[in-house]
A and B are shown apart, each in its own frame.
Chain A
Amino acid sequence: MHPLLTRPRQLGLYLLAWVPLAGILVYLLTGSSGLNWREAIILTLPLCLVYAFACLSAWYPCRALPLERSGFVKLALVHLTDSALVSVLWVQIAKGFAVALVRWGGFTGLDQRLAKYTSLLWVTGVLLYLLSVTFYYMLLAEQASREAQERALQARVLARDAELKALRAQVNPHFLFNCLHSISALTSSDAAKAREMCILLADFLRTTLRVGNKETITLEEELALVRGYLAIEKVRFGARVHMEEEVQKEATPVLIPPLLLQPLVENAIRHGIANLPEGGVIRLNAQRNGDAVSIVIENSFDPESPSSLKTGLGLDNIRQRLNTRYGQDARISVRTDNNTFFVNLYLPAQLNGDAE
């Protein structure tokens, strides 16, 4: 689509820019022993109007030959040839117009006087055409940079969207509905406990929402979230859930992406403990070794249960998040050993106040 032809306002401005150009041309044609003012104006105005439209055509070769991807020789050759030809055509039109003015307008000898200016007209035509070429290249460059900006903005929005979706997926509906069912059951048998569970659930959801908006939180904050989550699951599963924490003190202030460990612990329950009638143990171990922190979550599971194999999705999500944030500096791996499932996390130990 032509950027000027399709927008009347833009086209009006463009034609207005031709008025001073026409003025200059009038001035040039009224030089010594040339045309008089009246002749020059009558001749120039329609000619400039015609040429203004002729120069609009420069857009198409400009678009076809992007500056950054075309060789200099090719660019020069194409645009110079075009300008020469278009200008020749224009000079012919000017001559024809002058003849017409002589015959029907009574401007005696105008065509002869104009003949002296043929080369001047042609050079002006070439220069004007090349000026429009420059103008179109500037327009194209401006368009490209605007598009690049839009793309960058869109990429940022998409990334943020993906992150939000990932976070929303963390609160899984199965957990939520089961919790509500437990609360509903408790209302008649143990009202105080029902209230306690409401508060536990509210705290958990509130914390999830709050930390979900942050880039990073401390390991200590994440552990608090995990503990809140487990307190709820303990109401549901009773004595079937045991948690053992072994967290090195130096590791607690380390910054990690929010909701990194809670989904892993949730997996450990859903695909591990929940399938064991007698329940099992979840062990969480965090150690800081200099610039890195290593976190291991292990849980007992039933290798025969089909559900114990379904952990893939949550892990993929976490792997992707780690990759976006840390690239090669973070790793996540899983392994099984008899009836125990291990998730190993390894990430850079960033602290508050660290330069990015």
Chain B
Amino acid sequence: MSATSDQKIRVVIVDDEELARQMLHEFLVGHSEIEIVADCKNGFEAVKAVTELKPDLIFLDIQMPKLDGFEVLELIGTDRAVVFVTAYDEFAIRAFDIHAVDYLLKPFGVERFETALQRARQRLGGKLPPPAELSASARPAAHYPERIVVRDGTRVHIIPVNRLDYAEAQDDYVALSAEGKKHLKQQTISSLEAVLDPSRFLRIHRSYLVNLERVTKIEPYSKDTYVVVLSSGTQLPVSRSGYARLRAALDQKTQPGVD
């Protein structure tokens, strides 16, 4: 989606503080080529507005109610320009620098704002780094997300990772199974595996990632293939290398209890 000269750049502003939104309005009002299409006060509103209005550029605050800026980015995809806005978050800033993402530090003046805007306009239509990678580098080492966000149309579901039973790869999507419900998310199973705590979630098969706490037993299926049975009764196939990993992980878990 590139902006031609006769087409206005459509902007969405996301910040939970009114004064901060007001200031972006003030800075943008002089730009006739820019049209502000929505003001959002929280992450849910942002996801809804971006999905419905498909803007070209988003000014996205990081600390917000409901969903933070990184989660919003995960849900809206990467094919529009984003300028992150934050007051102070060393990890986020480091992540932006690593991935060469534009950001503004509050408080900012007109000049700094104009530079960021110019850069963002050059990037219109360009791809952002994968959101999962960006948010992973904004987290301190060995910190794993406590929840996964999923978008269903304009609605957002939040799945705490301890309620996730397993994930199944389906082409470009993963189906997340939690409490008997399935949620589809546009993400590869490998990138999901990469962000989750490896001591809690294990890849047992090319297409399956399982919550180790849900595994009740491993049963032989055919000559040298196996299935795991989850506490819900669901059976999932286990590949040969997955079986080795599963054995190792379960042995490690039960070791302290063995006498």
A binding-site residues for B, Cβ under 8 Å: 173-174, 176-178, 180-186, 188-189, 235-238, 274-277, 302, 304-307, 309
Contact = CB atoms under 8 A, between A and B. Distances in A.
Nearest to A178: B87
A184 B22 contact: no
B107 A181 contact: yes
A182 B26 contact: no
B23 A185 contact: yes
Nearest to B21: A185
Most buried by A among B17, B109, B146: B17
A119 B242 CA distance: 92
Given A184-B107, A276-B65, A174 B89 contact: yes
A185 B19 contact: yes
A181 B16 contact: no
B106 A177 contact: yes
B28 to A, nearest CB: 13
Interface of B: 16-20, 22-23, 26, 41-42, 44, 63, 65-66, 68, 87-89, 105-109, 145-147, 158, 160
B83 to A, nearest CB: 15
**Top-8 shortest CB links A-B:** A181-B106, A177-B87, A185-B23, A181-B107, A185-B19, A184-B107, A173-B88, A174-B88
Given A277-B16, A304-B158, A306-B147, A180 B65 contact: no
Contacts of B44: 277
A180 B89 contact: no
A277 B19 contact: no
A186 B107 CA distance: 12
A13 B108 CA distance: 69
Nearest to B44: A277
B66 A277 contact: yes
Contacts of A188: 26
A182 B16 CA distance: 12
Given A174-B87, A302-B65, 5 more contacts: A177-B87, A185-B20, A235-B19, A236-B19, A305-B66
Contacts of B66: 275, 277, 302, 305
Contacts of B160: 304
Contacts of B147: 304, 306
A182 B88 contact: no
Nearest to B23: A185
A274 B16 contact: yes
A181 B23 contact: yes
Contacts of A235: 19
A188 B22 CA distance: 10
Contacts of B107: 177, 180-181, 183-184
Most buried by B among A176, A275, A309: A275
A182 B65 contact: no
A277 B18 contact: no
A181 B20 contact: yes
A90 B44 CA distance: 95
11 contacts: A173-B88, A177-B107, A181-B107, A182-B20, A184-B107, A185-B19, A274-B63, A275-B66, A277-B44, A304-B158, A309-B146
B22 A274 contact: no
A176 B109 CA distance: 16
B56 to A, nearest CB: 24
Contact of A305 (B17, B23, B65, B109): B65
B141 to A, nearest CB: 17
Contacts of B18: 238
B96 to A, nearest CB: 16
Contacts of B63: 174, 274, 307
Contacts of B65: 274-277, 302, 305
A87 to B, nearest CB: 66
A183 B109 CA distance: 12
B20 to A, nearest CB: 6
Contact of A182 (B17, B41, B145): B17
Contacts of A237: 17
Contacts of A178: 17, 87, 106
Contact of A177 (B19, B26, B88): B88
A306 B158 CA distance: 11
A285 B41 CA distance: 31
Contacts of A189: 22, 26
A190 to B, nearest CB: 9
Most buried by A among B41, B66, B145: B66
Nearest to B45: A277
A277 B64 CA distance: 9
Contacts of A186: 19
Most buried by B among A180, A183, A236, A277: A277
A219 B198 CA distance: 48
Nearest to B26: A188
Contact of A185 (B22, B89, B158): B22
A171 B16 CA distance: 21
Contacts of A181: 17, 19-20, 23, 87, 106-108
B172 to A, nearest CB: 27
Contact of B17 (A183, A236, A307): A236
Contacts of A309: 146
